[in-house]
């Protein structure tokens, strides 16, 4: 052990040296340099065009034309932001999502209003405005080092002995060898400095590009409201799917269960009625037995239909929930064919939607335990932790439950994950093959 530590240190040091030595020859360093040059050119062009257009527009605001020019400027800013994102994607591999789409009402005034109020365009202008000083900083701090490094490394061929005095290098570093002793040693000094600068250059450039990346994410991507909106839209569509699926299931149950029961019931009563109608008064006792049988069956059918309807109604909204989750979960566990322990600790009642989701999750998980887990015992716990409600269902069965697996329980779990995700909750599964299984669901208490 005592020997290994220094070895490890040595290994780390070697790797660091390798990293630094290789960096100037790495593709990404050159891509960043290219990006800096191209995006600086774009930023200066954009800043110039936007400034000229904007000032012209402002000067003419008294006439309506000025406002139109400003609106056009904002549209142009949006377009240039798109080029900027494309440039970053192409050269840096940086994925910046498009901002909210430009959404104008029909007509000229609608277009003007939407353009003037286009947050994405104003943010794009802010980006290009901030990009100009960043570019100046980048030239001084990073580009100068690249240029000087390349010139100095080439000095043995060009016979160069001194440096230009621009940028960080010119002001701070170059005095170190600018007035070196003799011509020969000056040559060597310049070359060695060039090598050092070459190793340094990618890192200073990386810092500049990093700042630019952050700026792009903040100013050129969708703003926080839009991002939130998108994720809300996504979860809303999932909720919609889930509720459609629920309605479909209810319809299926009605169709196959209750409706068929009632049709059969009506059919039997119809038969009984015909028999009664068809009997001559003196004859009644002869066919009475048949009528008795039909009425018996109809009666049984009516009771089955009532049971079916009750189960169905429970599936739509469990009446037990009206008195709180604690009772509902206890009832649920008591109905489960696998002996299930319950522990519920919820000091304050969550919102009804959360209660319902919690109940259905517990119901689905217990049903899974009964159908797939081959467990002899299970437990259901539901406890409040601050703003979160945590439901855990454990069983001692065979395990192997997954959301994406191909087991028959998987679609149920995927459905649960969607439902839970729709209210910003989480579902996690710990179910090694051979068991035991623990499925944990966290739900916000209010949604």
Which residues are near other proteins by CB under 8 A?
Answer: 252, 255-256, 259-261, 263-264, 266-271, 274, 301
Is the CB of 211 or the CB of 264 nearer to other proteins? 264
**Closest distance to other proteins from the beta carbon of 247 (Å):** 15
**CA-to-CA distance for 93 and 430, rounded, in angstroms?**
36
**Closest distance to other proteins from the beta carbon of 259 (Å):** 6
**Closest distance to other proteins from the beta carbon of 113 (Å):** 45
In the chain, count H helices and then E strands.
16, 5
**Closest distance to other proteins from the beta carbon of 298 (Å):** 10
Q: Is the peptide bond before 436 cis (omega within 30 degrees of 0)?
A: yes
- Residues 6+ away with beta carbon under 8 Å from 369: 336, 338, 340, 375, 378, 393, 395, 397, 437
Is the CB of 271 or the CB of 384 nearer to other proteins? 271
Q: What is the DSSP letter of 324?
A: -
Count, residues in the chain: 447
Is the CB of 115 or the CB of 261 nearer to other proteins? 261
Is the CB of 85 or the CB of 268 nearer to other proteins? 268
Is the CB of 60 or the CB of 267 nearer to other proteins? 267
**Closest distance to other proteins from the beta carbon of 430 (Å):** 34
Is the CB of 269 or the CB of 414 nearer to other proteins? 269
Is the CB of 270 or the CB of 387 nearer to other proteins? 270
3: left (phi over 0), alpha (psi -120 to 50) or beta: alpha
**Closest distance to other proteins from the beta carbon of 270 (Å):** 4
How far, CA to CA in Å, does 16 sit from each of 13, 20, 25, 332? 5, 6, 15, 60
For residue 244, what are its two tokens? Answer: 């459609």
**CA-to-CA distance for 190 and 241, rounded, in angstroms?**
69
**CA-to-CA distance for 374 and 309, rounded, in angstroms?**
30
**Closest distance to other proteins from the beta carbon of 263 (Å):** 5
**Closest distance to other proteins from the beta carbon of 315 (Å):** 18
312-329 b/e with 16+ CB inside 10 Å = b?
eeeeeebebbeeebeebb
Angle at 438 (CA atoms; ends 433, 443), nearest 5 degrees: 140
User: Given 3-state DSSP classes, what are the helix, strand and coil percentages for the chain, each rounded to the nearest 5?
Assistant: 70, 10, 20
**CA-to-CA distance for 141 and 143, rounded, in angstroms?**
6
Is the CB of 252 or the CB of 349 nearer to other proteins? 252
Which phi and psi angles does 421 have, rounded to 5°? Answer: -65, -30
Q: What is the DSSP letter of 374?
A: -
**Closest distance to other proteins from the beta carbon of 274 (Å):** 5
CB distance 99 to 55 below 8 Å: no
Is the CB of 171 or the CB of 249 nearer to other proteins? 249
Pairing of strands 378-385, 340-345: parallel
**Closest distance to other proteins from the beta carbon of 268 (Å):** 7
Is the CB of 193 or the CB of 261 nearer to other proteins? 261
């Amino acid at each position: 052990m005592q020997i290994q530590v220094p070895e490890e240190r040595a290994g780390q040091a070697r790797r660091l040296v390798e990293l630094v030595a290789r960096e100037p020859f790495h593709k990404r360093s050159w891509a960043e340099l290219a990006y800096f040059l191209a995006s600086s050119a774009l930023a200066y062009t954009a800043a110039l065009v936007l400034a000229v257009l904007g000032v012209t527009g402002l000067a003419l605001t008294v006439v309506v034309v000025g406002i139109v020019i400003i609106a056009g400027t904002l549209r142009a800013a949006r377009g240039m932001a798109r080029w900027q994102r494309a440039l970053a994607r192409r050269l840096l591999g940086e994925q910046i999502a498009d901002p909210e789409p430009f959404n104008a009402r029909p007509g000229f005034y609608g277009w003007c209003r939407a353009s003037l109020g286009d947050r994405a365009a104003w943010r794009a202008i802010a980006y290009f405005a901030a990009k100009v000083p960043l570019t100046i900083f980048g030239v001084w701090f990073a580009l100068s080092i690249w240029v000087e490094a390349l010139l100095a490394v080439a000095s043995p061929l060009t016979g160069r002995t001194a440096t230009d005095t621009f940028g960080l290098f010119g002001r701070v570093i170059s005095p170190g060898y600018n007035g070196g002793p003799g011509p020969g040693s000056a040559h060597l000094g310049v070359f060695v400095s060039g090598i050092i600068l070459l190793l340094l250059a990618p890192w200073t450039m990386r810092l500049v590009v990093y700042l630019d990346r952050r700026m792009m994410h903040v100013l050129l991507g969708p703003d926080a409201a839009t991002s939130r909106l998108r994720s809300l839209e996504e979860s809303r569509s999932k909720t919609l799917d889930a509720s459609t699926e629920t309605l479909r299931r209810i319809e299926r149950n009605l169709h196959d269960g209750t409706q068929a029961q009632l049709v059969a019931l009506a059919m039997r009563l119809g038969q009984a009625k015909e028999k009664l109608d068809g009997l001559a008064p003196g004859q009644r006792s002869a066919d009475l037995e048949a009528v008795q049988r039909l009425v018996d069956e109809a009666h049984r059918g009516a009771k089955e239909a009532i049971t079916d309807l009750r189960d169905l109604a429970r599936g739509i909204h469990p009446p037990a929930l009206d008195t709180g989750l604690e009772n509902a979960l206890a009832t649920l566990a008591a109905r489960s064919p696998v002996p299930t322990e319950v522990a519920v600790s919820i000091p304050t009642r969550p919102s009804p939607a959360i209660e319902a989701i919690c109940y259905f999750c517990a119901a689905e998980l217990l049903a899974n335990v009964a159908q797939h887990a081959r467990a002899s015992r299970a437990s259901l716990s539901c406890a409040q932790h601050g703003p979160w409600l945590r439901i855990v269902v454990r069983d001692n069965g065979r395990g192997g439950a997954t959301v994406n697996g191909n087991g028959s329980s998987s679609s149920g779990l995927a459905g649960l994950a969607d439902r839970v995700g729709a209210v910003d909750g989480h579902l996690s599964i710990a179910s090694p093959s051979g068991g035991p299984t623990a499925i944990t669901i966290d739900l916000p208490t209010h949604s």
